[in-house]
Structures are given as C-alpha cells and as structure tokens.
Amino acid sequence: LWRSQDMKLVSVTFERDKIKKDMLLIGRMGCVQFCDMNAAAQAFSKQYAGEVRRCEDVLRMLRFFKEQEGKWEPEIGWRVKEIGTEGAFHERALDETETEVKSITSEYHKTLENYQQLSSNWINTYEYWQLLDAAHVREVTGGSEESGLGLLAGTIPSSKLATFERLAYRCTRGYCKLHLSELPKPSIMETAIADAGEQFKDDDLDRYLFIGVFGSQSVGSRLKRLAQSMDARILLENNLSMEQRVNEEREQRQHIVDISKMLMKSRESLQSLLRTRILPNMSLWTHTAVIHKGIAHTMNLLHMRTHTAIGVAWVPSSKMESLQDALRSGVSRGDTVITVLETPSHVSPPTYFETNQYTEVFQGIVSSYGVPRYKEVNPGVFTIITFPWLFGVMYGDIGHGLIITFVAAMFILYEKRLMKQSLNELVEMIFSARYLLLFMGLFATFYGLLYNDAFGLMLEYSSSSFDMLVWQSGSGTISRPAQCKDGPCGICGAPETATMDSTTGYSAPSFGVDVAWSGASKKLDLYNSFKMKSAIVIGICQMMLGLVLQFCNNRYFGDWKHIYFGFIPEVIFLTCTFGYMSFLIILKWVSPFQTGCKVSLLETMVNFFLNPGGGPNFHELFAGQLGIQQTLLGFAAIAVMPFMLFPIPYIEWKYHSTHDYADNDSDRESTTLVPQEMQEMRAVGQAGGEDNNDLLQSLFPVPEYIFDMQEVCIKQIIHAIEFVLGSVSNTASYLRLWALSLAHAQLSEVTGWKKKEGGRKKKSQQNTGLPRVPHHVAHRATRPAHSLRLRRVHRLAHRHARCSCRHGSAFCLPSRAPSPLG
C-alpha cells in the first residue's frame, strides 16, 4: 500500500469463441487493465456495441422497478430475502436475465396499465356519482324536463374556478345560471389520482362541481367550449327526470363498489409481483447486467482477427501466476497465450493499490481527489490516521464520539450478517464506511477528553488545579484554596503586588482543560484561543508532511534537481515563516509569563513581514527574538527568490542543449527535438519480432519532444508564486478546524442550557397550572451527561465564575480576551 505494485505489460491471445468465458475469469480478479486497441473506431461501430446496449436496456428496466419499489415500499416492506449474485458470472447469465426481465416487465406493465385504467374509471365514476347526489342537481333536474331548460354539468379545477365563473357570465351574456359546490375528497381518491398515471394532474385532487342551466342551445355550446378549454370534465349534458336520476345514482354507486374491489385485487397483484418475483432477483439481475456490460466494453478494446483476438493489458507482477492459473484451469485450458512485453520507457504504467475492507474506504477518499502516479507514495496510508484525526479536532465531544464509536462497532460486529442483507442507500453508505466511523468516533472521544466537553458540559476526571495556588507577597506565603475574593485573578484573594511562586504555584491539570472553567465568564475566550492555535500547528505539521512525501517521490525517481532546488527551499521558507509562528505558539503555551505581559502573536507575525525592525510596540517573548526574526526572514527570501526561480530552468536548458537531438523542423520558431534515447527505443523489438514491435508502436507512439525555455521559466515562476501563496491560504484554511469545533461546542452548550430552561419553565407551569410543554427530542441527548457532572463541578463553577488569571499559563483564565493569534 506504500507504493503502487509493480506492473507488467502483457499480450493476451484469446480464441474468439472463448473470449467471454476467459474475460469472466479475468474480471473476477479485479486487477487487470486492458488497453484500447480500437481507439480510432466509433463506439457504435465496435463489434460488441450491441451487447452493451442490451445491458443498458436491462439496467433501464431495473431502474424502473427500483422506482416502483420506492413507491410501494411502505406497504410491501423492505425486508425481502434476495438471491445470491454468484450466478452473474455464468456465460449465459445475460441471455437468461434479459429474457426473464423482459417477460416480467411486460407482465408488470400490463398489470400497471390495468390498475391505472381502473383508477381513472373510479375517479370519473365517483365524480359522476357525486354530481348526481348533489342537492342542487336534484332541484335542477327535477323540473328541467317540464320547463325545457338545457343543462351542462361537470368538474373543474379549483384554481380556475374564479376565471371560469367570470368568463361564463361574459360569453353567455348572463343567460346561464351556474351552481357551484366543492367535490368531497375521500382518502381513497388521493391514492387513485396518484396511481392513475399521466391521465390526471396534480390539481385534479382539488376540484369543484359546476352545473350550468340555460335556455338556448347556442348558449350551451358556448359554455361547453369554454369549460373544455379550462380542463373541465363534462359529466352530464342531457336533462334527467327524477326517476332517471335516482336509477343512475344507484347504478353508479354499485359501479364504484365493483371498481374498488377490482382496484384492490390489481393493487395486490402489483405488490405480489414486486415482492415475490422482482425484488428477490434485483441484486442478481443488476450484478449480471453490470458485469456483462463491463465485459462487453473490455472485449471492444481487443483487436479481432479471424480465429483469435489479441489484447494488451497491465497486470500486477504479484498477480501474474494467479492470472495464468485462472486461465489454465478455466474453459480454455491452456489455449489462451500470455506473453510478457517490454514496457516502453516513455510509458507510465497505471497505479494499482491492493486494498482490503479496512483500507478501502480511506483509499477511496484519496482517489476521489486524484490517483497518485505510478510508484509515487500513496497518501492513503497517512489518511488512515489524518482524516479521523482532523475530524476529532472539529468534532471533539465525549458523548457524541462514543455514540459514533458505538454505531460503528455494531456495524463491525454484525458485518457478516449485514453483508447478506439488502440495505437501503443510506444504511449501505454508512455500513461501507464502518471502519472510518470507528476511527472518527475514537478520535472525537479523545479530543472530547482533551477539550473536557461532553454534550456541552465539563467533567471532573482530574482535580482542579486552582486549589493549589500559592502566592508570595511582602508578608510571606499566602495559600487560600477555599476562598474566592477580589484580587488580581479573583481566585485566592492575593493583593495587587503579589507574585506567583514558580515552584509551588499553579500546576496544569494532568490531562485536558481544567474543570474550573465550567461556567466561567471567559470560557469562550479560552477555547477560542486554544483551538485556533491548535488548528494552525496541525496545519503546518500536515503541510510539512506533504513536503516530506514530495522528497520521497523525488528521491525514488532520482530527481535530485527538485530536491536541492525545490524541496529544500520550500522547507526553509515554510519553517522560517509559519513554522516559526508555530514555535511561538508552543513557546507561549509552555512558558509562564508575568503579570502585565502584553505579547500578541498577531502583532508579532504582522511585524515579522511588514516591519522587520520591530517597531515601537514590539515586545519580546525571549531574548534575541528580533535578531532571529530578521535572520529567518532573510533565509525565507533567499530560499524563494534565487533558489526556487532560477536553477531548475537553467539545469533543464543546459541538459537539453548538450544532448544529441534530431532537428525535425529547423524553420519553426520552437524547435522540435527527439532525444537520442527515444531514437534508440524505436529500434526496440526488431530482434524480438515485428508483431510485438508494431503492437507497441500502435498503442504507445513515441511523442514528439518540444523544449521551450520560455515555457519552462513561466512554469517555474508560477510554481514559486503558488507555493508562497498556497502556504498562506492553506494555513488560513486550517482555521476551519477551529471554526467548526467552536461551532459544535457552542451548539451543544446552547442545547444544554435550553434543556435546563425548559425544565424550569416546566416546573413553573406545573406550579401555575399551565399545560406542560414537551421538550425537543434532541435535548434528550444531553440527559446522560447530567449524571456525569459531579457536585464539585457546580461548586467550582459558582466559585470561579468571575475569575481570571494574568499569569499566562496554557490553561489559566486570561485577564483579557486574546487576539486571534495570541
């Protein structure tokens, strides 16, 4: 995992009638990468393009079933026992899957169309029945036959009701009387409209009944055209006698009952198809389609001949014997020939890292940003620690960290059982990152102990150091661990002239933040300063680690010019600037400063770049600081200006000017040159056979080498500027660790205080007889922390709420709010 495995370039000769069987065996290894020998051909004209389309059609049908599963999941449930995926590697698996999926898709579509048609019929019948059952319809139809009045009735969306009413009055000139009433909406109607497909729109759920009575046929025709233009459904156009209306109403009621029974049966048929025939085979069908689609894509990369097919592939050296054994024990039984080719010097092999269930997720994080080049150091090794570590810095909380650890531990404990089950997308994503979550939870718990933070509360797992304060004054030693009066720090009541004894004075707690900060007025200032400075130190360390990895790569490839004039100047610049700032941060943490010390790291670093002479407000942290700062700034400037800008372009120009080149086009402004070693490489393969030589030249043509001094200089200048600006921007980016950590801590603390206030309000409501207000569910997460908070914590919080200390220790209460950098 440290570097990519050694890769070999091989030529594989298949028999055409056994290609698919051999590809299934090779595909199961998961470590063979074929080169495209038909790059010039169009994708649709390749030999196995039809098989790729077949697999895509199967996957399209399976996506439709996946949508239907989401639609019916609340009713059929998601605990369906699936068939294993081992059958996906059978040669005829795609043909069998395609036939079965097409058959069941056709059956499902017929059942679904029948169900949608029944839903549509139910909606139309229900609306017609409601229209006949309306009270004003009885009045109109009861006397319309004798009076000779015309009638038009139906339903219209409620969103167009007002417009329809105004336009009906205008187009009929008032010679039509409209009766309007809201259509009752039973719960089954919502389901019917949702299942009716595209025949009904979203606004069909909220409709109104309308009945128009008119005396002229021309008025009725104008009203009908208007209603049809506004998405109205015409249900009744002829006058009905009272007897006809009663009979029709009775028939429609019975019709609704019959359609409802048929709807239930059709619904059960759809669910039965999904539950018994589709969902158990979904995983097998999906794996089959994906596997055979990948195999078809790979076979399109081969060069086809009359009876054979030739492919060129990269194979890890450690897997060569496994590949040969797999093909030898397969169907071909020795008919497939593997020939090791010589890797051209100008070709970079692909990168291959062998991972397992522990390292796969960490390697995936690195690969999402970029894959290292062949034989470069793999950053995924360090990501195993650095990624959960940075998460712990941002999410340091004992309670939340233990919850994440417990969830990850449960996934790991039952991983074998969960691997055999079908999990939904969210649970499967969490399950695949179970080992990452375990480390994240452990680091979050560790930093929660360091921050002394559990659901926004502080715990007393070590005694408070404020009980051991000893002061020296003119009258002698003063030790008052149990009293808290006004004084320089408000803890022990020492006079203004008192000084702390360096031998018997304040001692930092054994681990983490002192519990005495619980409830203190400057608690936020402490965490703000500590977490910000910690984020900067962590960022500088990680950037330095990146430079060390760069050195390892340059040393491995023998690129000494980038070591002497790239790595060393960059390390000097980073150490002399931001490394020096990290040194000042740590120095201020570990050094006790006397009362009245006003050293600000922010002002120190600003003066470091803008005012190297120090200035009138300069305060030293140690003796000789000003001279050291000027020396470091000079080293940083020298490392960037001459050493990072000029040597590398000069070395490359000197190298290319002294070697033998073939001038391909002397008339060009930029000369095209081919190194001697590339000319010699063109002759490679003549002794080993022209077939392999032609094969390598067609796959990996020798590129024309163009050296442009101007381009090299511009590239080096851009690299130097990017490194300097990147050092500043990356250091600032690591402040997000502080920001997210502080936000998480404050949200937890606010949640805890709201819970306390909610409890007080609850008690007051119980006393006044007001109704109880239930707590938010999220506030219950802080309940276990109250049992962990001991009585002494409350006593210390009450005692030291107004305390501050001017004596500069890392975990002392500051007398003033610190600046962002100290």
Q: Is the pLDDT of residue 257 over 80?
A: yes
pLDDT band at residue 204 under the 50/70/90 scheme? low
pLDDT tens-digit profile of 328-355? Answer: 776 555 567 888 888 887 888 899 998 8
> Tens digit of pLDDT for each residue in 535-577?
999 999 999 999 999 999 999 998 899 999 989 999 999 999 9
pLDDT of 544 reads 93
Give tens-digit pLDDT for 732-762. Answer: 888 888 888 888 888 877 776 555 555 544 4
Among 741, 751, 737, residue whose Cα is nearest residue 455: 751
Mean pLDDT within 607-613:
82
Is the pLDDT at 799 greater than 60, yes or no?
no
Nearest to 518 by CA among 814, 816, 799: 799
- The percent of residues above 90 in pLDDT, for the chain, comes to 17
CA distance 254 to 251: 5
pLDDT mean over 357-368 = 89
Radius of gyration in angstroms for the set of CA atoms belonging to the chain, rounded to a whole number: 40
pLDDT of residue 546: 92
Average pLDDT over residues 252-257: 84
Residue 439 has pLDDT above 90, yes or no: yes
Q: Across residues 661-667, what is the average pLDDT?
A: 41
Lowest mean pLDDT segment, chosen from 1-10, 58-67, 77-86? 77-86
Residue whose tokens read 């163009």 = 706
Q: Report whether pLDDT(509) > 80.
A: no
Residue range 392-402: average pLDDT? 91
CA distance linking residue 501 with residue 681, whole number of Å: 77
pLDDT at 681 over 50: no
Residue 100, pLDDT > 70, answer: yes
| 152-193 pLDDT, tens digit each | 888 888 888 888 888 888 888 888 888 888 887 766 665 665
Higher pLDDT, 485 or 623: 623
Token readout for 256 is 């609704």
DSSP tally for the chain: helices H, then strands E: 30, 15
Determine which of 352-356, 533-537, 680-684 has the lowest per-residue pLDDT on average: 680-684
DSSP SS3 for 751: helix
Token code pair at residue 676: 């001697």
Distance CA 799, CA 811 (A): 17
Structure tokens at 488: 């320089």
Q: Please say if the pLDDT value at position 508 is more than 60.
A: yes
pLDDT of residue 786: 38
pTM for the structure as a whole? 0.70
Beta strands in 183-329 (DSSP E): 207-214, 233-236, 303-304, 308-316
Distant-in-sequence, close-in-space partners of 181: CB < 8 Å, separation ≥ 6: 134, 136, 208, 209
Q: State residue 575's pLDDT score.
A: 92
Say whether pLDDT at 29 is over 80.
yes
Q: pLDDT, tens digit, for every residue of 266-319?
A: 888 888 888 888 888 888 899 899 999 999 999 999 888 888 888 889 999 888
CA–CA–CA angle 492, 472, 586 (5° rounding): 80
